Amino acid sequence: MACCRRQVQGGTYEIESVRRGYALELAVDFTRMPGGMRFGRANDEPIKPVASQQLADVIKTWPTGNTDVRIGDYMGRPHQKWTITDAPDTTGYLGGPYYKIVIAGTERALAATADGEVITVPSFSGAPEQLWRIDQLIDGTYRIMPKAVPNSNNKLALVSSGDSTPTLAEFDFSSDNSKWNFKVH
């Protein structure tokens, strides 16, 4: 048996692929943090930490429609932080609720497409392709599955098909491509 059905606690997470340790992220242009490059010091003043990038710093540069997702190095940026909550008005499945997965601070929701891909849509509607089943596996990692893939009866899971490409495919317990971790940062 590959699953022990432990529920995920609501919160904001990095969704990390077990395959390489890369993070699921919104595919947006990289926005540099303020302060520029810092090489050497002109005086003996203490080094001041750079403030973390905030959603308000970058959201106006993001596309407004459906947006692709990808996998990349986790840098604690707003496009890499996902809020997971029980989906409202759903009955769930044996062992747990369906979940709503959105970019933290927004309603931009993770969704399955009819092509077996994953994207984000501008706002969560509660459609079956925006509802996610999250099962903890016996090895402590997680399987993430959409409630439904549009125009398909196939049961697919979120997988890492390469170093930067998340997609939907049949779940394979023996493959790290099919497994994910949730990390609080």
- Estimate to the nearest angstrom the gap between the alpha carbon of 118 and the chain centroid: 10
User: Do residues 111 and 130 lie in contact, with contact meaning Cβ atoms separated by under 8 Å?
Assistant: yes
- Give the per-residue pLDDT at 9: 87
The amino acid at 85: T
Distance, CA of 18 to CA of 78 (rounded, Å): 21
SS (H, E, C) 32-92: CCCCCCCCCCCCCCCCCCCCCCCHHHHHHHCCCCCEEEEEECCCCCHHHCEEEEECCCCCC
User: Do residues 160 and 20 lie in contact, with contact meaning Cβ atoms separated by under 8 Å?
Assistant: yes
**Which top CATH class is 11-27+53-183?**
mainly beta
pLDDT tens, position by position, 140-185: 999 999 999 999 999 999 999 988 899 999 999 999 999 999 999 7
The amino acid at 17: S
Q: Which sign, positive or negative, has the C-alpha torsion 58, 16, 153, 95?
A: negative
pTM of the model: 0.88
- Residues 52, 105, 62: CA angle, nearest 5 degrees: 80
Domain ranges in the chain are: 11-27+53-183
pLDDT tens, position by position, 32-84: 666 655 566 667 777 777 778 899 999 999 999 999 999 999 999 999 999 99
Write down the residue that tokens 């429609």 correspond to.
65
Distances from the Cα of 112 to the Cα of 27, 51, 54, 81, 149, angstroms:
15, 34, 27, 19, 6
- Give the per-residue pLDDT at 21: 95
Q: 133 forms bridges with which residues in the sheet?
A: 145
The amino acid at 154: N
